A and B are shown apart, each in its own frame.
Chain A
Amino acid sequence: MPKITYEGKQFDCEEDQTVLDCLARHGVTYPSSCQNGICQTCLMHATEGTVPAVAQKGLKETLKLQNYFLACTCKPTEDLVVSEPGTGVTQRVVAQVVGKKPLNHDIMRFQLAPDDEFEFRSGQFLHLKRDDGLVRSYSIASLPDSDTPIEIHVRRMDNGEMTTWLHDTLKVGDAVEIQGPVGECFYVPGNPEQNILLIGTGSGLGPLWGIVRDALKQGHTGRIHLFHGNYDINGLYLMDELKQLARDNPNFLYTPCVDSHAPEGVEEGRVDAVVSRTYSDLKDWKVFICGHANMVDNMKRKTFLAGASLQNIYADSFVDSSKEAA
């Protein structure tokens, strides 16, 4: 009889019982609605054990790859450790700060070398924990290659306790704890000819910088077009690197945008307007959107109405540069 572990408690799951039934029989109420594997209300994350394929029907590719499943259709065949989406921490390691460099006036790049293996996909985020327990989340901008350190882009926020500490106090040689990874904003191989649109504002460029290079490294041949916007030119960064990447890869296009006073080579207009005037039909495109919550919601809607399928829209919204950790 498989055992289900949820919130530290272990339950026996009888034959033919779903995870949802099993929890209910043991007095645990987990949110659910349609009970038929459709509405996705009962979405769960298996941090240990493999779930049957039927329990992943209809989920986005990136959720499937992370072992997400629907509790109402999952009849486990082996022991599972399960948690609510976004809360399951699979890895916890200490990492040394090996690099700290400003990318522009308010965004700092940190490079972290984990003491142990830390698996992730470019574009996912990690939780960074300070000694006193303060936790914030940052998207990963580097490639999952054990020779290169993990890279995060941290924007300084007024009154942001963690960002102030990271910018002013944390230094090369210090150690921090990292946990995770979490998030469904990453490149999935298997459809190399699909066109990819990436839209970011502010330090939302971090995950997109990781995703673009990951896609290129994995041999993506379709068009990859990155738009990075900010209200003025000082907020843009990695411009030289991105221009170089575009020269080296004919299928990669880079469009920096600023709201006003655009210098040569930079589009004028808010990033959402620039994207809309560049592409009116996004049918069959894959879309990644990272940045401020308002921009993200707006662009999800616009790209969907322009023809992108919801299954192909991946988004990460930040409360400024960091997420409030779960």
Chain B
Amino acid sequence: MSDSLYDKIGGEAAVDAAVDIFYRKVLADDRISKYFEGIDMETQAAKQKAFLTMAFGGPNSYTGMDMREGHAHLVKNGLNDSHFDAVMENLGATLSELNVPAELIAEAAAIAESTRNDVLGK
């Protein structure tokens, strides 16, 4: 059986478990929290769930262009590599906390990393 990364990590249940942890880390992280404030928390959490689903290789229809457009307003507000790195760090820490094996964390990180240029509008 060749399960996808998404299945191996635990599918939707894993995303559900990860979203609170990830979002709590992001809000508590002074380097990036400002980008996540100002919109309703539930709306924001649902978007972070979309982010995690994507990083886990789960079902999504986002294109590079969507990522570009979706983060353009943040790039205008100074979003750069250091913020991207901070998100990557929080993602890794979230997955470790959920006891996801290191090789799967690396796979998820690679997926997220592949969006860097689009997210940062480069």
Q: Of A36, A57, A304, A313, which one neighbours B60 at CB under 8 angstroms?
A: A36
For A195, list chain B residues within 8 Å (CB).
none
B46 pairs with A38, CB closer than 8 A: yes
* A234 to B46 alpha-carbon distance, docked (Å): 40
A34 pairs with B60, CB closer than 8 A: yes
Partner-binding segment picked from B21-29, B72-80, B86-94: B21-29
A310 pairs with B45, CB closer than 8 A: yes
Q: Of A34, A35, A305, A310, which one neighbours B42 at CB under 8 angstroms?
A: A310
A310 pairs with B60, CB closer than 8 A: no
B24 pairs with A305, CB closer than 8 A: yes
- CB contact list, B1-23 vs A, under 8 A: 12, 15-16, 19-20, 23
For B62, list chain A residues within 8 Å (CB).
34
1/0 per residue A29-51: CB within 8 Å of B?
A: 00001111011110000000000
Closest to A39 in B: B50
B43 at the interface (CB under 8 A from A): yes
1/0 per residue A279-316: CB within 8 Å of B?
A: 00000000000000000000011001100011001000
**Which size class do B's interface residues fall under?**
20 to 34
* A278 to B27 alpha-carbon distance, docked (Å): 22
For B70, list chain A residues within 8 Å (CB).
33
CB distance from B108 to the nearest CB of A (A): 16
B102 at the interface (CB under 8 A from A): no
- Given A304-B41, A310-B20, A310-B45, do A38 and B50 touch, yes or no (CB 8 Å)? yes
B41 pairs with A35, CB closer than 8 A: no
A102 at the interface (CB under 8 A from B): no
CB distance from B76 to the nearest CB of A (A): 19
For B28, list chain A residues within 8 Å (CB).
305
For B59, list chain A residues within 8 Å (CB).
36
B27 pairs with A35, CB closer than 8 A: no
A58 at the interface (CB under 8 A from B): yes
* A304 to B12 alpha-carbon distance, docked (Å): 21
For A305, list chain B residues within 8 Å (CB).
24, 27-28
1/0 per residue B45-83: CB within 8 Å of A?
A: 111011001000001111000100010000000000000
A38 pairs with B53, CB closer than 8 A: yes
* A313 to B41 alpha-carbon distance, docked (Å): 10
For A60, list chain B residues within 8 Å (CB).
42
* A33 to B65 alpha-carbon distance, docked (Å): 12
Q: Of A36, A304, A309, which one neighbours B53 at CB under 8 angstroms?
A: A36
The 8 closest A-B pairs by CB, nearest first: A40-B46, A39-B50, A35-B61, A34-B50, A38-B50, A36-B59, A310-B45, A309-B20
| Chain A contact residues, CB within 8 Å of chain B | 33-36, 38-41, 57-58, 60, 300-301, 304-305, 309-310, 313
A to B CB contacts below 8 Å, 10 in the list: A35-B61, A38-B50, A38-B53, A38-B60, A58-B49, A300-B41, A304-B23, A304-B41, A309-B20, A310-B19
A35-B61, A304-B41, A313-B41 are known; give 13 further A-B pairs, CB within 8 A. A33-B70, A34-B62, A36-B59, A38-B15, A38-B60, A39-B49, A40-B43, A40-B46, A60-B42, A300-B41, A310-B19, A310-B20, A310-B23
